[in-house]
Chains A and B, each alone.
Chain A
Amino acid sequence: MNIVVCAKVVPLSSVTIRIDPATRRMVRKDVSQELDPQAAKAVEEALRLTEKHGGSVTVVVMGGEDATIGIRGALAMGATAAIHLSDPALAGSDALGTAKALAAAIRKAPFDLVMCATESSDSYTGLVPGQLAQLLGVPPLTFATSVTVEGRTVTIKRQSEGGYDVVSAELPLLVTVTTGINEPRYPTLKGIMGAKKKEIKRYTAAELGLGPAEVGESGAREKVLTVGRPPARPAGTIIQDDGEGGKKIAAFLADLKLI
């Protein structure tokens, strides 16, 4: 089974990211990057599936040059190969532009299964996987909390408003995985060393057959008009618990007629 995992590389979650009001984009320069912890779950799930059923895991990442560290991270976990879509012509793409680039790259090699996280950690539009499935012409099985494969049939437990649904379809298809699906492995030293030797294929926008009407800032349907800060909540009262903290909360609630 050939699995393609679409993984994003994002600023370290411990870093506070800013938006540049002039470009209206996230400032990624000089910010340490990592494999998106959400995408790591998709990589992990793909590795478990190939460990069971055989096959390969190819990681596709669209992102700047500094995304390489995250790509190596996925390879160190055990992914077979990687594709890096890095081209200034792709910068500023919206979700649909990103999906078009990913689809074009994925179409270059045969695949059975495409895996994504339901959302990325930094922009979390949650749109890319659904758009990608549509562009590839494969059914999307989304919000999976577990994935099993039997022959050509993939069955997932799909999160629902009131519990979960059991949902199936035949390969080829696309699956998105939720946060709770697994605990990604840590790369071993051997994995990290091995990752340095694995191939990272690169494509430019032109090689993907995509022009400025489809990708990059010019191709984006979504335009950010203004960058602002939400209205701040008025400052509250912060007290140190002096042994009466619980009583003070009760008094506060009573004052507001909440009890």
Chain B
Amino acid sequence: MADLIWVYGEVVDGRISRATLEMLSKARELGRAEAVLLGPAPDDAVGTLSAHGASRVYRSTDPVYRDCPTLPAVETIATLIASHQPTVMLFASSYGGRDVAAALSAKLDCGALTDVGDLALRSGSLEATIPALGGSYQNTSTLTGPGAKLVLVRPKAFEIKPNETHATVEEVPAPRDPTVRKIRVTERVTVKREGPQLEDSRVIVSGGRGLKAPERFAMLQELAELLGGAVGATRAAVDAAWVPYALQIGQTGKTVKPDLYIACGISGALQHLAGMKGSKTIVAINTDPDAPIFQVADLGVVGDVFKVVPQLIEELKKRKGAGAH
């Protein structure tokens, strides 16, 4: 019998998250894919899950899951796991995903694997590929012992593959115990983001401490616009409050895999590389010839970002102008 693979479904920006669909695509490959979707969601949510391979959706629309983070979801999933015993349950490395998986792993005494980049099942036993020490190592790990194997997946680890399935929906009851309401969300603040989103961008122009001042990011913004891309940053730039956290790329920020990544004044620390090494083409500009970023660059220019980038901008404008004639 096929292994039962569950996916913890999440809604981000009013839609089933990209990570949910990535996981479903993988779950489908590993066995019979089913999703758990808790809390209010858009009308087409179950349809979207179904179109990506979910053959069953455990569903509750109860607002408690939205208004009270973590605890109600942990309660419900623990009950569901006990009665259906999936082999594996996949979670996104999102804020919510990580909290729910961590609590479940302790509640069910089964442990969990995080930062998983690839996954195989060999006769029910799990083999997960996990980068270690900022990506300088790549190990395979497994979870032993009885019970479900909880796995937190890296973003962009799997490709989204549509796979039309007819999902049956099973309504699940929300927990009534008041203790699951101990954590309350009183306000949600969305920070306005303009231009293409980092995660979906085919081109990313990224800046680090080498830019020396927040206003210098305007130069990167101009370059990004010319290339139809988005601006990213290192944690050094974020910690200096030059740009918001939403732009941070790396181990504790976003994982991106654009066609083109241009690193400006970035040293290439392992924790930064962890979030961008999967980019198809990498261009780096840095004054230090020994900067580790050059080890992953397809084209590296040892030079001053304040000279090289303006010239690149001029050249792109010239070429665009030429193309228009």
- Residues on A close to B: CB < 8 A? 16-17, 19, 24, 26, 94-96, 99, 118-119, 122-135, 139-143, 155, 158-170, 173, 179-180, 220-230, 233, 236-241, 243-250, 252-254, 256, 258-259
Contact = CB atoms under 8 A, between A and B. Distances in A.
Interface of B: 12-13, 69-71, 74, 94-95, 98-99, 101-103, 105-107, 109-115, 127, 131-133, 135-145, 182-191, 193, 203, 227, 235, 238-239, 245-246, 251-252, 259-260, 262, 277, 281-283, 285, 289, 294-304, 307-316, 319
Given A96-B106, A228-B137, A240 B302 contact: yes
Contact of B107 (A17, A134, A167, A228): A134
A162 B307 contact: no
B102 A129 contact: yes
A104 B127 CA distance: 31
* Max chain A Cβ within 10 angstroms of own Cβ: one of B13, B106, B185, B309: B106
A122 B171 CA distance: 42
A241 B145 CA distance: 57
Nearest to A237: B299
Nearest to B10: A161
* Max chain B Cβ within 10 angstroms of own Cβ: one of A163, A173, A245, A256: A245
Contact of B301 (A122, A132, A227, A245): A245
Contacts of B141: 222-225
Contact of A250 (B143, B282, B316): B316
Closest 10 CB pairs of A and B: A130-B102, A241-B303, A246-B311, A221-B111, A246-B312, A134-B106, A131-B106, A163-B191, A166-B187, A250-B315
A168 B137 contact: no
A245 B138 CA distance: 34
B124 to A, nearest CB: 15
Contacts of B311: 244-247
Contacts of A168: 183-184, 186
A180 B233 CA distance: 14
Contact of B189 (A16, A26, A165, A220): A165
A165 B96 CA distance: 12
A239 B133 contact: no
A18 B193 CA distance: 40
Nearest to B241: A180
B304 A159 contact: no
Contacts of B74: 134
Contacts of B184: 167-169
B44 to A, nearest CB: 20
A130 to B, nearest CB: 3
A169 B183 contact: yes
Contacts of B127: 225
B5 to A, nearest CB: 19
Given A134-B102, A158-B95, A224 B190 contact: no
28 contacts: A16-B136, A19-B132, A19-B139, A126-B98, A127-B102, A130-B70, A135-B106, A141-B183, A161-B12, A161-B95, A166-B185, A167-B183, A167-B185, A179-B235, A221-B110, A222-B144, A236-B299, A239-B301, A241-B302, A243-B307, A245-B301, A249-B285, A249-B315, A250-B312, A250-B315, A254-B319, A256-B281, A258-B259
